[in-house]
Amino acid sequence: MVIHELTHSQCCEVLARSEIGRLACAQSDQPYIVPIHFSFDVERNCVYAFSALGQKVRWMRANPKVCLEIEELEHRDSWTTVVVFGLYEEIHHAEEESEARRRAEQLFRARSQWWLPAAARVPGRDHHHDVVVYRIQIEQLTGRRTARIRE
């Protein structure tokens, strides 16, 4: 097996066909990682997502530096991964952010069941939390892909 570095363009291709990744954030030297649904916006060099207000949002507000890892796994010897390094930015209902919010919602609707899991009901809770729409502004992309050596 040989591991190849992906080009920026190849990393963007992986992001464009993906919907689920693992978001990593940190607070007080403690890392935290969770799966998220996201939508990639190649034109604006960012990914959009939304979440109920909870630990990850509180942590990203405190420390906006985040990573998003996306993987395509065919076999243990055949995989592709992309890591997005970026900054968390909330998109509010303010007039100056209406275009970003419209764009995020447009991309969300392109996915089937786009409102899940952030809008899903959590057992044991009588109410839904407020939903936070956010983007990760991409600062750097890296990626790797395996290839089998032919003998």
Give the H or E element holding residue 105: helix 98-109
The verdict on pTM exceeding 0.85 is: no
Q: How many domains does the chain have?
A: 1
At 49 the pLDDT is 92
User: Which residue shows structure tokens 């890892």?
Assistant: 69
At 112 the pLDDT is 66
CATH code (residue 133): 2.30.110.10
Bigger pLDDT: 130 or 58?
58
Nearest in space to 31 (alpha carbons), one of 83, 67, 6, 73: 67
Identify each DSSP E strand in the chain by its residue range.
2-5, 20-27, 30-37, 39-41, 46-52, 65-75, 78-91, 131-147
Give the domain range for residue 19. Answer: 2-121+128-147
How many whole angstroms separate alpha carbon 98 and alpha carbon 115?
19
How many whole angstroms separate alpha carbon 46 and alpha carbon 2?
30
Q: What phi and psi values does residue 78 have, to the nearest 5 degrees?
A: -140, 100
Q: Which tens digits make up the pLDDT trace of 70-127?
A: 999 988 889 999 999 999 999 987 787 778 777 788 777 776 655 555 555 555 555 5
pLDDT score of 33 more than 70: yes
Give the H or E element holding residue 10: helix 8-16
